[in-house]
């Protein structure tokens, strides 16, 4: 009976089996990272457009965060530090064929300044065009300005990018690549811009894909479907290490896992308590077991941030006995339940963290155990990231575990100013203030004594290391799997660019 049915069914099944088609078209460099494209507005997804070399900024940054000429070839600042004058690069064209002009730069920066970001926090009083130059007037000297102009939200778009209400309706940049398709939230494609002012990139076409799941990203790298995959999870890194078609890359980035401390809390207002907490942390163990790379932080800033990493500091190390001794000195005695007690009050605190970075709740659990070993009881509250800032503002935060990106601007000063200003910052100090620190930071921001700036930075890091308004735990690494079909790939510690224009096909 079956023979009557079998032939047509077999045809159907064979048709289904024959569907697999050829691989993706060759010679399109495929870059994959977890960052979703939220829209055309630079405040939402500006980093992707900068990373894919579609847009440019007035100022660029080198791998140590030092300013480099971008769309501005040079700049000068007046003696009183309040007027910056930028000379624009000649012969720059936007992707719609229009020429870069001082007016178009002013327009882009004014739009950027009107939105939440960094430029709106700079003491800028006016931005204007004069004789083909861009002039920025400040109400007070402000050295992080260059760094803020290098940030993706200060990207320079052609006037045709904006509608009448200053909304960005299309991305018309001036970079070596122009946008050919944008399929938010996951994909965009670019092609080489032939009228680019700089050297012509070797790669003609590229695509960017946002892939949220780390396993999927790793599989894309392993299967050869992606040429460069960023943000690998520890398990995938271990597996990809043995793949001969892939080169694994890693760079230390200015992002640190830290314990944000409410220094105004009765249990935490003594710097010695914060030092004891710091001594109780086995950072090596946390880095090895959870992050799976040797990145225990012995100070706030990693060595990759040369200007801010201070090798002269006494490193933060794991000394649980000393931690206990220090707490004893401060009047804490171990109770019957193993928890420290003082005047009948147990040493218990709540640690708030968030799962946006999946390693944070794990690190929080390790910290909970390590502090328990010295007699401090932690309750972990894993909630959404906004809770930390909200609790900072209503004063109820005790401890928070956060992953802080110090490289919002290539010069860390911009971020430091937000986090460790006298009134504290959502992701930095809370109820902590140090007169010397404040004065030194203000001097550095205003550039009062450029010759002494490195000494001033060291002064700031020394105070942070001693007073511990934030207790460093680990440094982050950016990791990538790069197909050996590509050469010339590098990782930017400031995550401004994927470096597409410097890559080439190696076959």
Partner 1 sequence: MIRILGYRLLQAGMVALLVGSLTFVLMRSLPGDIAWRIAAGRYGYDRVDASAASAVQQELGLDRPAWQALADWFIQLLHVNPGNSLVSGAPVMEEINHQLGQTLLLAAVALLLSLLLGPPLGILAGLAPGGKLDRLLLAISTSLRALPHFVLGLILVLIFALGLGWLPAAGYGEVQHVLLPALTLALGLAAVSSRVARNAMRQVTDSAWYQFGRTKGLTESQLFWQHGLRNVSVPLVTYLSVQFIYLIEGVIVVETLFAWPGIGHALVHAIFARDVPMIQGTALIMGLMFVLLNTLSDGLCYWLDPRRKNP
Q: Binding residues for partner 1, per CB under 8 A?
A: 1-2, 4-6, 9, 12-13, 15-16, 19-24, 36, 38-39, 41, 43-44, 116-117, 183-187, 209-213, 215-216, 219-220, 222-225, 354, 356, 383-387, 389-390, 393, 402-405, 408, 418, 425-427
- Which residue's CB is nearer to partner 1, number 104 or number 409? 409
CA-based nearest residue to 453, from 179, 194, 66: 66
Residue 142 or 332: which CB sits closer to partner 1? 142
Residue 392 CB, nearest approach to partner 1 (Å): 8
User: What's the closest the beta carbon of residue 356 comes to partner 1, in angstroms?
Assistant: 6
Question: 3-state secondary structure string, 284-308?
Answer: HHHHHHHHCCCCECCCCCCCCCCCC
239 or 504: whose CB is closer to partner 1? 239
User: In this complex, which beta carbon is closest to partner 1, that of residue 27 or of residue 213?
Assistant: 213
Separation between Cα atoms, residue 347 and residue 345, nearest integer Å = 7
Q: How far is the CB of 67 from partner 1 (least distance, A)?
A: 21
Residue 436 burial class via C-beta count within 10 angstroms: exposed 0-12, middle 13-18, buried 19 and up: exposed
Shortest Å, Cβ 219 to partner 1: 4
CB of 159 to partner 1, least distance (A): 21
Instruction: Report the SS3 class of residue 157.
Output: coil
Distances (CA, A) of 28 to 48, 58, 181, 395: 18, 29, 14, 52
Residue 278 vs 385, nearer CB to partner 1: 385
349 or 408: whose CB is closer to partner 1? 408
Nearer to partner 1, 2 or 131 (CB): 2
* Closest distance to partner 1 from the beta carbon of 221 (Å): 9
Contact 88, 72 (CB under 8 A): yes
> 């398990």: which residue's tokens?
235
Cβ–Cβ under 8 Å, residues 279 and 390: no
Please check whether residue 486 is in contact with residue 503, taking contact to mean a CB–CB distance below 8 angstroms.
yes
Alpha-carbon torsion angle 141, 147, 152, 154, nearest 10? 30
Instruction: Tell me the torsion sign for CA atoms 146, 150, 153, 158.
Output: positive
- Least distance from partner 1 to the Cβ atom of residue 504, Å: 23
């Amino acid at each position: 009976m079956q023979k009557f049915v079998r032939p047509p069914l077999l045809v159907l099944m064979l048709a289904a089996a024959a569907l697999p088609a050829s691989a993706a078209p060759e010679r399109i460099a495929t870059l994959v990272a977890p960052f979703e494209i939220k829209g055309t507005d630079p405040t939402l997804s500006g980093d992707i457009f900068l990373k894919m070399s579609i847009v440019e900024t007035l100022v660029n940054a080198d791998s140590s965060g030092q300013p480099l000429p971008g769309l501005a070839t040079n700049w000068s600042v007046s003696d009183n530090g309040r007027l910056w004058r930028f000379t624009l690069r000649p012969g720059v064209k936007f992707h719609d064929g229009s020429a870069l002009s001082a007016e178009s730069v002013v327009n882009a920066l004014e739009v950027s300044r009107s939105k939440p970001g960094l430029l709106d926090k700079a003491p800028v009083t006016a931005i204007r065009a004069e004789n083909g130059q861009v002039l920025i007037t400040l109400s007070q000297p402000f050295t992080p300005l260059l760094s803020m102009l290098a940030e993706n939200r200060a990207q320079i778009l052609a006037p045709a990018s904006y509608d009448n209400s200053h909304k960005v309706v299309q991305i018309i940049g001036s970079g070596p690549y122009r946008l050919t398709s944008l399929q938010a939230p996951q994909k965009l494609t670019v092609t080489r811009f032939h009228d680019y002012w700089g050297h012509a990139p070797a790669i003609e076409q590229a695509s960017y894909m946002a892939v949220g799941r780390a396993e999927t990203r790793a599989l894309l790298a392993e299967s050869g479907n992606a040429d460069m995959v960023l943000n690998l999870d520890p398990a995938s890194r271990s597996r990809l290490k043995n793949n001969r078609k892939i080169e694994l890359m890693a760079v230390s980035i200015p992002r640190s896992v830290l314990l944000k401390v409410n220094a105004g809390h009765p249990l935490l207002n003594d710097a010695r308590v914060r030092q004891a907490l710091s001594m109780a942390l086995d950072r090596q163990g946390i880095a090895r077991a959870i992050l799976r790379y040797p990145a225990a932080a012995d100070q706030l800033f990693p060595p990759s941030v040369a200007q801010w990493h201070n090798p002269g500091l006494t490193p933060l190390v794991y000394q649980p006995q000393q931690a206990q001794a220090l707490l004893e000195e401060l009047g804490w005695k171990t109770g019957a339940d193993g928890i420290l007690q003082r005047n009948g009050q147990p040493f218990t605190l709540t640690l708030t963290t968030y799962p946006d970075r999946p390693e944070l709740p794990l690190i929080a659990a390790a910290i909970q155990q390590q502090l328990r070993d010295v007699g401090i009881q932690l309750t972990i509250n894993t909630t959404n990231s906004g809770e930390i800032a909200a609790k900072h503002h209503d004063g109820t935060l005790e401890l928070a575990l956060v992953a802080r990106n110090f490289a919002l601007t290539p010069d860390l000063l911009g971020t430091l100013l937000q986090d460790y200003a006298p009134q504290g910052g959502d992701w930095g100090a809370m109820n902590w203030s140090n007169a010397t620190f404040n004065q030194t930071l203000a001097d550095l921001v205003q550039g009062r004594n450029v010759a002494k700036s490195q000494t001033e930075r060291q002064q700031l890091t020394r105070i942070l290391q001693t007073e511990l308004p934030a207790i460093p735990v680990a440094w982050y690494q950016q990791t990538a799997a790069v197909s050996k079909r590509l050469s010339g790939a590098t990782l930017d510690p400031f995550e401004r660019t994927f470096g597409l224009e410097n890559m080439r096909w190696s076959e």
